[in-house]
Amino acid sequence: MKALRRGEAWSGAAGGQAGHEEPTRREELLRTAVDLFARYGYTGTSIRDIANAAGMSVSNIYHYFGNKEGLWLAILEYSINGLPDRLNAVWQSDLDPVERFRLLVKTHLSASKSHQKETRMFFIDQGEVSHRGNSRNKAIQTQILDIYVQAMDELRAAGYVHTREVKILAFNVLGVISWYLRWYRADGRLPAEKVHEEIANFVLHGVLGPAE
């Protein structure tokens, strides 16, 4: 039986918001890997880069994650794995259709921002990581797209959308959000809340089209 050790335990995986304990070596590796993967991509980051930046031996990566792809998947696990469910929950709530869609976008924005590097890292990936990792990534992105397509369909059925090409609308929304993850810097002039507000407005007007 695996006993709990040090700061690991039941708390998330790399978040470490339980108390102010020092991070596990495993968490330290995840943190470092996210940083490098998001900056240089999967193939652009070597196992040694990660280990050196984290100040330990490469063997630890194989001890904790099996191999490079396992490390990639572990990051996917704790960061965006649950995103589709969160978005679906928002869309199942019983609000006014338009305000519900606005909430959907804002939830997506703030959830992505809370794992900004991770989300960007998976959005940017193109198929550099080997088959299993890549297909899992693609599957999540497809799930998210489907949520938006469904949302657009319902909005259209309710008469809010004036185009038949709802899938293009869904793609556009994903494009705006994924790009936001690339340009947003936490030390910028505006607070994230305000930025999300602006982006949500843009998306809403783009989707709803000319008011009547």
Partner DNA sequence: CAGTTTATCGAACGATCGCTCTATAATCGT
Partner DNA sequence: ACGATTATAGAGCGATCGTTCGATAAACTG
Q: Which residues form the interface with DNA (CB under 7 A)?
A: 1-3, 5, 25-26, 43, 45-49, 55-60, 62-63, 67-69
Which of 53/195 has CB closer to its own copies? Answer: 195
Residue 47 touches which of DNA, its own copies, none (CB < 5 to 8 A by kind)?
DNA
H/E segment holding residue 101 = helix 97-114
Report which of 27, 196, 209, 50 is spatially closest to residue 109, judged by C-alpha positions.
Answer: 196
Please report, as residue ranges, which positions from 34 to 63 form the binding site for its own copies (by CB under 8 A): 38-44
Quick check: 176 and 203 in contact, CB under 8 A?
yes
Report the residue from 22, 128, 157, 193 that binds its own copies according to the rule CB under 8 A.
Answer: 128
Shortest CB 78 distance to DNA, Å: 17
Cα 73 to Cα 126: distance, rounded to the nearest angstrom: 15
Q: Is 95 one of the binding residues for its own copies (CB under 8 A)?
A: no
Q: Which does 25 bind (CB under 5 to 8 A by kind): its own copies, DNA, none?
A: DNA
Give the Å distances, CA to CA, from 129 to 101, 119, 138, 149. 33, 15, 11, 27
Q: Is 98 in the site for its own copies (CB under 8 A)?
A: no
Please select the residue that binds its own copies; options are 21, 99, 165, 193, rule is CB under 8 A: 165
Position 132 contacts its own copies (CB under 8 A): no
Q: Give me 197's structure tokens.
A: 């507000």
Which CB atom, from 49 or from 146, has the smaller least distance to DNA? Answer: 49
For its own copies, which residue of 12, 66, 127, 191 counts as binding (CB under 8 A)? 127
Q: Report if residue 191 touches its own copies, rule: CB under 8 A.
A: no
Among 12, 66, 82, 206, binds its own copies (CB under 8 A): 206
To the nearest 10 degrees (0 to 180), the angle between helices 25-40 and 116-124 is 50
Judged by CB, which is closer to DNA: 85, or 128? Answer: 128
- The span from the CA of 205 to the CA of 18, in Å, is 40
Other residues' Cβ atoms within 10 Å of the Cβ of residue 11: 15
Closest CA to 64 of 104, 24, 93: 24
Dmax over Cα atoms in the chain, in whole Å? 65
Query: Which residues contribute to the site for its own copies (CB under 8 A)?
Result: 38-44, 124, 126-128, 163, 165, 168-169, 171-172, 174-180, 183, 190, 194-195, 198-199, 201-203, 205-211
